[in-house]
Amino acid sequence: MIRPDTDNILDIKLEVIVLAAGQGTRMRSELPKVLHPIAGRPMLAHVLETVMGLSSDRLELTRIHAVVGHGAETVRHAVESDVRLRDAPLNWVHQAEQKGTAHAVSQALPDVADDSVVLVTYGDVPLVSLETLNACVQAAGARDAALALVTAEFEDPAQLGRIVRGDDGNISAIVEYADACDRQRAIREINSGILALNSALMKSMVAEIEPQNAQGEYYLTDLIALAVGRNVPVRGLVSDRPSELTGINDRVQLAQAERLYQRQAAEMLMRSGATMADPARVDVRGSVTTGADCFIDVNVVLEGEVRLGSGVRIGPGCVLRNSSLGDGVVVEAHTLVDGAEVSARCTLGPFARIRPGTVLAEEVRIGNFVETKKAVLGRGTKASHLTYLGDATLGEDCNVGAGTVTCNYDGIDKHPTEIGDNVFVGTNSTLVAPIRIGSDAFVAAGSTVTSSVPEGELAVGRGKQRNISGWTRPDRRAGRKDGADSEENA
């Protein structure tokens, strides 16, 4: 990336126009194109979050003008529902008719202050980096004001418009492939469409753009010729990573962008201390932080805000969502951890489901086919298999046997189960809430417990056993043919 001279940079008031009005017919979808997801979030959300990072000591981001058209209300609702965009200084601009990029920009310009720099970017270019946008803004905000245009060099630019530069290195023209000569077609530098310019200049020049095509559309690329005609320098900033400027027009390109995003996300995690069994088989769909010496196995999905301490080990096929895992936590294969706070050295799974509101103290063991929901478990407590703990608080060093269920729902309301320290709950026990079991108590296997158990006592809630002598198995009863298995007797 060509870097502007930092000594030539003025303090900048920045306004950003994000073009997001297109229908995206090649997506073949009722969903507006900019809402198709990359890493579990709409493309537009990625762009807006990147733009929000542009503020710095010498650069003040004042407003983001999101130009929407097709599915405008759906787009607006999706963005305003994104918690990471709550503080975005958004101004929604509706483009009723889609008449080209310059027309879209013209819809937002009346709301733009004359003393600002305007950056134009696109809601369907989700991988563009903060570094690239920042360089573009600074080039436009220098003392020797210029139109700054982000470009890229491709091995095969196909039929994209070519960037033509003059002897001074500035851009002199953008030549469409159909109009280019052989020498110009050999150029590998192309226009990304991302540009920045002083707002007063942009307003003046956009007003001069005329539709000179069969579609009757107003093209923003015409700014280049207008700037050259006014002796305004057009500085091309070549991106180091052409892939960041890829626009998404169909589902194939969407999938390619997803893989690019995931590769970058995996590389960031590995650089921060995580080892991955196969980086191509881990999906990051949120913000993930990791301590040193973590291990992440294949087919793991990380969603929302996920924090991993040092030495965490994640087995294959796990999903972690909006959760924090302390140092040394082990998550065995095919376990879901959702909205949980897990302290150091806990072991979860395999095949466990840890639901929102779960808080696990150090060295808790949650085994196979155990489900927790709004459950708080004290240090060293174990529920090793086939158990449901909902709306429950357990103290330290408890043991919960297989098949135990806390009956927290009576059909109308949820009720709590409170269990003290060092409690033993036998296999196949049913704890009917609301209920309290005191410390050092013991619940006998197979019990249905409906009233509280004092500290240190044994609770037995079984029906009385009867043994019937002379009982005959059904297939040996009188009147039945030996070996018969008729449907009427089955």
164, 171, 233, 380 from 167: Cα distances, Å: 10, 9, 12, 73
* Number of Cβ within a 10 Å radius of residue 384: 16
Cα–Cα distance, 265 to 477 (Å, whole number):
69
Quickly tell me which residue has 């909205």 as its tokens.
339
Q: Which two structure tokens, joined as six digits, stand for 141?
A: 């905000």
Tell me if 396 sits within 8 A of 378, measured CB to CB. Answer: yes
CA dihedral 285, 330, 272, 238 (to 10 degrees): -20
Cα–Cα distance, 172 to 366 (Å, whole number):
66
Phi, psi of 162, deg, nearest 5: -100, 145
Of residues 36, 334, 385, 415, which has the active-site annotation? 385
**Sequence-ordered strand ranges (E) for 132-265:** 147-153, 162-165, 171-175, 189-198, 234-238
Tell me if 310 sits within 8 A of 327, measured CB to CB. Answer: yes
For residue 386, give the amino acid letter. Answer: L
**Sequence-ordered strand ranges (E) for 99-188:** 117-122, 147-153, 162-165, 171-175
65 catalytic? Reply is no
Cα–Cα distance, 349 to 370 (Å, whole number):
8
Which pairing describes strands 189-198 and 117-122: parallel, antiparallel, or unpaired? antiparallel
Cα–Cα distance, 210 to 444 (Å, whole number):
85
Residue-wise DSSP of 232-255: --EEEEE-S-GGGGPPP-SHHHHH
CA dihedral 189, 190, 191, 194 (to 10 degrees): -70
Active centre residues (catalytic)? 385
